[in-house]
Structure 1
Amino acid sequence: MYEILKKELLAPNIYKMVVKVPRVAKAAKPGQFVIVRVDEKSERIPLTICDYDKDEETVTIVFQTLGASTIKMSKLEVGDYFRDFAGPLGNPSEFIYESIEELKNKNIIFIAGGVGTAPIYPQIKWLNSRGINVDVIIGSKNKELLIMEEEIKKEASNLYVATDDGSYGYKGLVTDLLKDLIDKENKKYDLVIAIGPMIMMKFITKLTKEYDIKTVVSLNTLMVDGTGMCGACRVTVGGETKFACVDGPEFDGHLVEFDEALRRQSMYKGEEKKKLLVEKQKEEGHVCRIGLGGEEK
C-alpha cells in the first residue's frame, strides 16, 4: 500500500499527487513511467513520472480525468492509499547517458502540450542540476489549462508559453511558436524533445524534419498494460514494430509512423465510453445491459 502525501488540482480535471514509494523513488530516472492501481479491482494505469525525491522517498504523478479509472483515482485524498505502484518502468531518456560536456554544447528545446508538461519537468530539472541550459515551450488550449508554469520557469533558461486562443502568452500552436523562434529570432537547436498529444508530436516532427533537427518524442499515451504483453502500444518505428512500454516510451520522432499510432490510440475510445456509462449507472443504482453485451463490465 502506497500513501498519498499531497494532492493538488492543477487545472480543471488535472491533478497532481505526491506518493510515498521508497523503492521507486530511489531507482527512478527522467523519462520513465509507473503503473498504478487504486484497488484490487481497478485496472492498471500507466503514468509518466512527473518528479521524484530520493531523500523524501516520494514520486509525483500528474493525470487528467479522461476515463472511468482516472475519475476513480481523482477521488482519492491525502492519507488514502494506492493498492499498487509499480516502477520505474520503461527506458530512461537517452541524454542521461551522454557526457555532460557534450550536452552543454547542445542547444536543446523541450516542447510540451497539455498534460505533457508534467513529464518534461524531471528531464529539465535533471539537466539544470548539471548546469545544462535548455529552452522550453509549453502550450495549452487556454490559460486555465496551463500547468506547472512556475516549476518549469525555475529550471529552464528560457520559457515560452503558447495558448491556442491567445488568452496567455503567444497566440497559436506550439509548432507556430517554434517556427517563429527559429525563423524570426534566429534560434538554432540541435535537439527537440516533444511530449504531448499525439497529433501535436506528429506536426512537431513534420516541422523539425524541414529544419533537420533531431527530435525525440514520448509515446506514453499509447500504453495500456505497460509490460508489452497486451500489444496495445505497438507502433512502427523506422519500419520495425516496437512497443512503447518496453522499447520506449521515447523514440526518434522522425521514424515514428504517427498515422498508425493515432489509429491505435483511438481503438479504445468506444470501450472507455461504455465503461463511463456503466460507472455512472452504478452510482444511480441501475446498470442497463442494452448495448453492453448483456453483462456488466
Structure 2
Amino acid sequence: MFPIVKKRQLAENIYLFDVLAKRVAAKCLPGEFVIVKQDKQGERIPLTVCDYDREAGTVTIVIQVIGGSTRLIADDLKEGDEFMDFVGPLGNASDLISEDIEELKKKNILFVAGGLGTAPVYPQVKWLYERGIKADVVQGAKSKDFVILEDELKSVSGNLYVCTDDGSYGFKGLVTDKIKDLVENEGKKYDHCVVIGPMIMMKFVSLLTKELGIPTIASMNTIMVDGTGMCGACRLSVGDEIKFACVDGPEFDAHKINFNEALQRLQIYKTEEGRELLKVIEGETHHGGCGVCGGDK
C-alpha cells in the first residue's frame, strides 16, 4: 500500500497528491509516468510524474476529475489514506535528460504548458534549473482560477508567461499568440521547445514552431489508457511509423506527429462501436504496442 503524505486542491477538479513510494521515487525521472489504482474495484490510471523527492521517498502526481474513478479518488482519499497500487516508473524519460549538460546550457529552451500539462512540464523545468539551466515557460489556462503550480514554475524557470483565454490573468490570448509575441516583438530566439497539454493546443503550437524553425517535442501522455501498450488507445502515427505513447513515448518529435489522425482517432475510440471499427481499419497495428502480447490474437 502507498500512503498519501499530502493532498492539495490546485483548482476546480484538479488535485495534487504526494505519495510515499520509495522505490518509484528512487528511480523516476522527468517525463516518465506511473499507474495508480485506488482499490480492488478501482480503475488503473496512468499519470505523468509531477515531482519526486528521493530523500523523502515521495512522488507527486496531479489528478483531474474526468470520470468516475478520478471522482472517487478526489472525494474519498485523504492524507493518511493509501493507494492500493502505485506502479512505475514507466515510459521513457524526457529526451533532455540524456543530452550533454554543457550542450544544453548553450540552448534557449521553451516549454509550453496547457492546463493539466503544467504538471509534467514542471519536473523537466526543475531538472534543468538544478543543473544551471533556466528555461522559459509559456503557461496557458482558461482563466485565472485554472492556473496551477504558478509559484513552483516561477521558482525554477527563467521567465514564466501566464496566458488566459479570457484575459482574467496575465497575457490575454492563446499560448500561440504569446509565442508569436515573444519571437516577433520581444526578439526571443529558441533552439528547442517542449509542449504538453490538450492535443488541439499541441497541434497548433507544433504548426507554429515548425513555421518558426524551432525543433519541438510533444508529450502524448493524455491519450494513454492502459499504460502498457496492450489496449491500443495511444496508437499514433509519427512520420511513417506506428508508435504507442505508453511504451515508445510519451514524448515524440511534434513535427512528425499526425495530430489530425490522432484527434480523429481519439473521438472514435470513445465508443465501443468505434473501437471495433478501429480494429478493422488498423488491422495488425491496432494492438501490440507492448511487443509481446500479440494484441487480440
Per mean C-alpha deviation after superposition, the further-off stretch among 193-202 and 256-265 is 256-265
TM-score (norm 2): 0.90
> 1:262 is matched with which residue?
263
Amino acid across the alignment from 2:221: N
> 1:63 is matched with which residue?
63
| C-alpha distance in structure 1 between counterparts of 2:105 and 2:55, whole Å | 27
> 1:87 is matched with which residue?
88
Amino acid across the alignment from 1:95: L
Amino acid across the alignment from 2:117: G
Which runs of no fewer than 5 residues in structure 1 stay unpaired? 272-297
| Conservation of the 8 A alpha-carbon contact between 1:233 and 1:264 | no
> 2:114 is matched with which residue?
113
Amino acid across the alignment from 2:28: A
> 1:205 is matched with which residue?
206
How big is the shift at 1:212?
A: 1.1
| Conservation of the 8 A alpha-carbon contact between 1:201 and 1:217 | yes
> 1:164 is matched with which residue?
165
| Conservation of the 8 A alpha-carbon contact between 2:233 and 2:269 | no
* 2:143 matches 1:146: no
> 1:173 is matched with which residue?
174
Amino acid across the alignment from 2:191: D
Amino acid across the alignment from 2:87: A
Q: What is the aligned-residue RMSD (CA, Å)?
A: 0.9
How big is the shift at 1:230?
A: 1.0
* 2:13 matches 1:13: yes
Amino acid across the alignment from 1:73: I
Q: Deviations over 1:1-43 (max 9, x none)?
A: 1001100010010000000000000000010000000111111
| C-alpha distance in structure 2 between counterparts of 1:256 and 1:187, whole Å | 26
> 1:132 is matched with which residue?
133
Q: Deviations over 1:241-295 (max 9, x none)?
A: 0000000000000000101111222245457xxxxxxxxxxxxxxxxxxxxxxxx
TM-score (norm 1): 0.90
Which runs of no fewer than 5 residues in structure 2 stay unpaired? 273-297
Using a 3 Å threshold, how does the CA distance of structure 1 residues 4 and 267 change in structure 2: closer, same or farther?
farther
| Conservation of the 8 A alpha-carbon contact between 1:20 and 1:57 | yes
| Equivalences for residues 233-248 of structure 1 within 5 A | 233-248=234-249
Q: Size of the alignment, in residue pairs?
A: 271
> 1:280 is matched with which residue?
none
> 1:283 is matched with which residue?
none
| C-alpha distance in structure 2 between counterparts of 1:243 and 1:106, whole Å | 29
| C-alpha distance in structure 1 between counterparts of 2:176 and 2:73, whole Å | 32
| C-alpha distance in structure 2 between counterparts of 1:144 and 1:48, whole Å | 22
| Conservation of the 8 A alpha-carbon contact between 1:18 and 1:59 | yes
Q: Deviations over 1:40-67 (max 9, x none)?
A: 1111100000000000000000011011
| C-alpha distance in structure 2 between counterparts of 1:87 and 1:206, whole Å | 33
How big is the shift at 1:183?
A: 0.4
| C-alpha distance in structure 1 between counterparts of 2:113 and 2:267, whole Å | 21
